[in-house]
Structure 1
Amino acid sequence: MDNIRATVLAELQHALSTLQSQPVPAQTLVVALSGGKDSVVLLDILYRIAGSEEDNPYKLPSLYAFHVNHGLSSEADDWMHHCSILCAHRNIPFESATVTLQSKPRISLEAQARELRYTRLLEFTKRKNGVLVTAHHLHDQVETMLLQLKRGAGPKGLGSMQAVSFRNEVPIIRPMLDVSQEAINQYAITSKLSWVEDESNIDERFDRNFLRRQIIPLMEARWPAVSRAISRSAQFCNEQAQLLEQVSKEKLLSLQDAENKLDVALLLDHSELWQKQILREWLRQFFPLSPSSSVLLQIQKMLIAKEGSQPLVGIGEYSVRRFKGKLWCINRFEHLPEHLPIPDTGVTLPVWGKRLNVDVAKDAQWDRGSLSLVTGLPSIKLRPVGKLHSKLFKEWLKEWEVPPWERIQVPLVFYNDSPVAVCLHNQIVALQTPPTVPLLEFSYN
């Protein structure tokens, strides 16, 4: 018991010392309390450390516990009640949240429950200006690395879980990563702790349970030290991934512009291996999941595509495109209808993510109901204010270097039958209009 407590204390103090550079020091430790054996042991150890003058000379931040009720088990409410009693006996502030799961295509209930659990935990931890503390242990780490191997992950994925990490800007500490399941079991029994048993933990249809109940025991029977060896490998992978990420970020800074568009010519100056790594780092700015090898290969082919071509690679809700010697990563937007009246409150332009507002010169006579947004008119002739000649709308769009995939959605503002303005990404271009059109002023917010 003393060994496990000493391990947790040492890891906790080391983790908190690494977080001292944060703008606001942690004021609380929020324990993710499921009610299962692992989290109950963690709660008890932290409670004993916090109450011991010998173990807590540095005065750890105050303790909170938070439980998320997924409702997946018929006993879920009992588990939540059990957690509240555990905390009441130790005088630890306790809060809980109940989440509702819905069947979604291609997303398992377990994955959805995990995501919602973290969302609620992180929200609560941020509200308490705290650090989230989880009960992940040595064998959780082994399971995670084996699952990553099964998925064909690279160094970052094989790095598995870390003693200190961040999610949504909230620090997460895992002080039991070096503690075995056996040590946790022994602590729980010796301390006469009470916990709940989740019946789903014995369902070997789930990969993690299959590894825990079938594969890892066989490995440890043949190689008793294999779990700690796998954990060391995970740490080495994480260190290599951090070094690689650091260098990749430095390289990326010299290759992308202020709008995060990537210079194709500069990227081609690097080897194919570095191209892949830089592309991974670039895409991480837009979504957290690393792209597959096949997606990276498709993007690399875009680098040498003919200048006039319009290659596209789709990644979830995003598209990678090439235009004017740059790679763009674009979130797919909702298209405007071909004709949309502009109400008094203005109108949102999905293609730009901005809101268009319209005002009229003082005392001018005008009909607000005559204003509308119109798309899909590439061949209409226009003459911007200050220009000597009219040209087709599509020719102006080329001159303004609007990317081809956006051109069909660039809206014109019409007053009755007269086009009066063009809504571009970073400006609104006023057009020459007949004298019958009032002087209108346009702005974004």
Structure 2
Amino acid sequence: MPADALQREFERQLAGVTDVRRWLIGYSGGLDSRVLAELAARVLDPSRLLLLHVNHHLQSESDAWAAHAVEQAAALGVAIRVLDVAPTSASEADARQARYAAFMAELGAGDLLLLGHHADDQAETLLLRLMRGAGARGLAGMPRQRALGEARLLRPLLGVSRLELSDWARHQGLDWVNDPSNSALEYDRNFVRHRVLAPLMQRWPDAPARMGLSAGLLDETAGLLEELARADLKACLNDRAGLAGGLLGQLSAARQRNLLRYWLGARTGVTVNGPLLERIEQELLQAGSDRQPQLQLGEHALRRYRGDLYVQAPLKVTPSAVLARVALAPGEIALQQGLLSISAVNTVSRPALRTLEGLGLRYRREGERCRPAGRSGSHPLKKLFQEYGVLPWQRNAWPLLVCGDEIVAAPGLWVCEGWQARPAEDGYVLGWCPG
């Protein structure tokens, strides 16, 4: 690839990028990052450019490579920062996790991280994910750009082959480090590179480019599936951010799986693969109507209640002692498990509390009863929560307004008999939005 052609491609990839505070480059000193740093030093403002070299301390040459990276940065006239990490093992996954954690610690709002992944890397990623049984989103490969916390990530060389990079680097007289571990076949990526992709390229020299085209088409497919999932989610979402089981059941099996992947992935961060979808179908969707099954998904739980599906996040609850000291007044009161709202009204058109004076907050107690306004006799609090459809895992953390030991109101649900404002009186409307 001619020198000006590669630089034009680099500039083209950066053309649509705006509002960049700093340009940061993941710089190992290998071929791809060496070329990336060279291009960036020629095109970008060096005062806003920073190389990040991650020293994994996994090989005897690690410190020498870090020193070489510092020398190269000085020669380019750009700043560099060496980040020392300690992966939990020498595996590819652990090293990558440690590396990205180090990047995240350095990145802030407005920063753009440039990585030197190229077309051969994309082809290797596609083949690896194919062996893992990935779907359209996984087979779309590495995205050219994405959000990274408050910052962004861009791979401007993703359409350029390794051969094109090496030819360009040699023509420019660049030198780079060669990591001997790149030839170790016990690593999956190296095996794919040397034993799978290399023979394919002997037969089809443009194999990485062809695979890149397929990855792009699969990225389009994944985008369409997400659009469909968002439309289905809007149609199936109930008024408590759960999936209505009856509406979910009206979708085809494929659309159900697509919706569950999207919804659960967004809510829990868990990758919802085929085996997990089978467990959801067997353990939740097909469970008896009288059961309330649940399935743990990382820190979250997927639960079924009255036929609908809900994601239960790890529950943090305001301690009882702290809750008891909360001063009640019109406005919003943020608790760890949700938001309590108190609105003063002078025309009562819905159940409202007649006063806040002398009232406090606490949680329910075993065996308690109360009498909602307009009802005959008292009722067990447990039965009332069931009647009002309060999700079982929210009941113990639902704040109650009390006067001494007497329950006065359950915000968002009812006001108790004797405590309601009359139609001509001022009052307070209580709301509760669980977190």
Shorter-chain TM-score bucket reads 0.7 to 0.9
Aligned counterpart in structure 1 of residue 244 of structure 2, from 263, 270, 275? 263
* Aligned residues of 2:54 and 2:99 also touching (Cα < 8 A): yes
How many correspondences in the alignment? 404
Aligned counterpart in structure 1 of residue 388 of structure 2, from 400, 406, 410? 400
User: Which amino acid is the alignment partner of residue 168 of structure 1?
Assistant: G
Q: Secondary structure at the match of 1:94?
A: strand
Residue of structure 2 equivalent to 1:120: 102
* Aligned residues of 1:34 and 1:83 also touching (Cα < 8 A): yes
Whether 2:146 is the aligned partner of 1:186: answer no
Aligned counterpart in structure 2 of residue 312 of structure 1, from 278, 283, 294? 294
What per-residue deviation string (whole Å, max 9, x for no partner) do you get for residues 233-258 of structure 1? 11111121122222322332232246
Offset of residue 342 of structure 1: 4.7
Whether 2:84 is the aligned partner of 1:98: answer yes
* Aligned residues of 2:317 and 2:397 also touching (Cα < 8 A): yes
Q: Secondary structure at the match of 1:321?
A: strand
The verdict on how the C-alpha distance between 1:14 and 1:178 changes in structure 2, with shifts beyond 3 A counting, is closer
The verdict on how the C-alpha distance between 1:423 and 1:79 changes in structure 2, with shifts beyond 3 A counting, is farther
Aligned counterpart in structure 2 of residue 133 of structure 1, from 114, 117, 130? 114
Offset of residue 324 of structure 1: 4.0
Residue of structure 2 equivalent to 1:78: 64
Distance in 2 (CA, whole Å) between partners of 1:372 and 1:170 is: 41
Distance in 1 (CA, whole Å) between partners of 2:235 and 2:323 is: 44
The verdict on how the C-alpha distance between 1:289 and 1:374 changes in structure 2, with shifts beyond 3 A counting, is closer
Distance in 2 (CA, whole Å) between partners of 1:240 and 1:254 is: 21
Offset of residue 179 of structure 1: 1.9
Offset of residue 143 of structure 1: 0.9
Stretch of structure 1 that moved more, 296-305 or 232-241 = 296-305
Distance in 1 (CA, whole Å) between partners of 2:382 and 2:413 is: 17
Residue of structure 1 equivalent to 2:5: 6
* Aligned residues of 1:317 and 1:332 also touching (Cα < 8 A): yes
Residue of structure 2 equivalent to 1:88: 74
Offset of residue 275 of structure 1: 1.4
What per-residue deviation string (whole Å, max 9, x for no partner) do you get for residues 326-371 of structure 1? 321112436999xx6559987x977x2679xxxxx99x9xxxxxx9
Residue of structure 1 equivalent to 2:93: 111
* Aligned residues of 2:373 and 2:414 also touching (Cα < 8 A): no
* Aligned residues of 2:13 and 2:156 also touching (Cα < 8 A): no
Identity across matched positions, percent: 28
Whether 2:202 is the aligned partner of 1:221: answer yes
Q: Secondary structure at the match of 1:286?
A: helix
Q: Secondary structure at the match of 1:297?
A: helix
Kindly report which structure 2 residues correspond to 1:33-432, keeping only aligned pairs within 5 A, or say none: 33-50=27-44, 62-102=48-88, 110-127=92-109, 129-168=110-149, 170-257=151-238, 259-300=240-281, 302-303=284-285, 305-333=287-315, 341-342=321-322, 352=337, 377-382=365-370, 389-407=377-395, 418=405
Offset of residue 155 of structure 1: 0.8
* Aligned residues of 1:145 and 1:159 also touching (Cα < 8 A): yes
Offset of residue 62 of structure 1: 4.6
Q: Secondary structure at the match of 2:113?
A: strand
User: Which amino acid is the alignment partner of residue 64 of structure 1?
Assistant: L
* Aligned residues of 1:8 and 1:175 also touching (Cα < 8 A): no
User: Which amino acid is the alignment partner of residue 33 of structure 1?
Assistant: Y
Distance in 1 (CA, whole Å) between partners of 2:27 and 2:299 is: 34
The verdict on how the C-alpha distance between 1:117 and 1:413 changes in structure 2, with shifts beyond 3 A counting, is farther
Distance in 1 (CA, whole Å) between partners of 2:407 and 2:65 is: 64
Offset of residue 161 of structure 1: 1.4
* Aligned residues of 1:64 and 1:92 also touching (Cα < 8 A): yes
Residue of structure 2 equivalent to 1:368: none
Offset of residue 384 of structure 1: 6.6
User: Which amino acid is the alignment partner of residue 9 of structure 2?
Assistant: A
Q: Secondary structure at the match of 1:26?
A: coil
Distance in 2 (CA, whole Å) between partners of 1:254 and 1:276 is: 15
User: Which amino acid is the alignment partner of residue 223 of structure 1?
Assistant: W
Distance in 1 (CA, whole Å) between partners of 2:281 and 2:11 is: 43
The verdict on how the C-alpha distance between 1:353 and 1:87 changes in structure 2, with shifts beyond 3 A counting, is farther
The verdict on how the C-alpha distance between 1:259 and 1:412 changes in structure 2, with shifts beyond 3 A counting, is closer
Distance in 2 (CA, whole Å) between partners of 1:180 and 1:151 is: 24
Q: Secondary structure at the match of 1:152?
A: coil
Give 5+ residue unaligned stretches, structure 2: 327-333, 341-355, 420-431
The verdict on how the C-alpha distance between 1:115 and 1:69 changes in structure 2, with shifts beyond 3 A counting, is same
User: Which amino acid is the alignment partner of residue 261 of structure 2?
Assistant: R
The verdict on how the C-alpha distance between 1:409 and 1:146 changes in structure 2, with shifts beyond 3 A counting, is same
* Aligned residues of 2:370 and 2:407 also touching (Cα < 8 A): no
What per-residue deviation string (whole Å, max 9, x for no partner) do you get for residues 369-393 of structure 1? xx99777x54344457897643323
Q: Secondary structure at the match of 2:236?
A: coil
Give 5+ residue unaligned stretches, structure 1: 51-58, 356-360, 365-370, 434-442
Offset of residue 211 of structure 1: 1.2
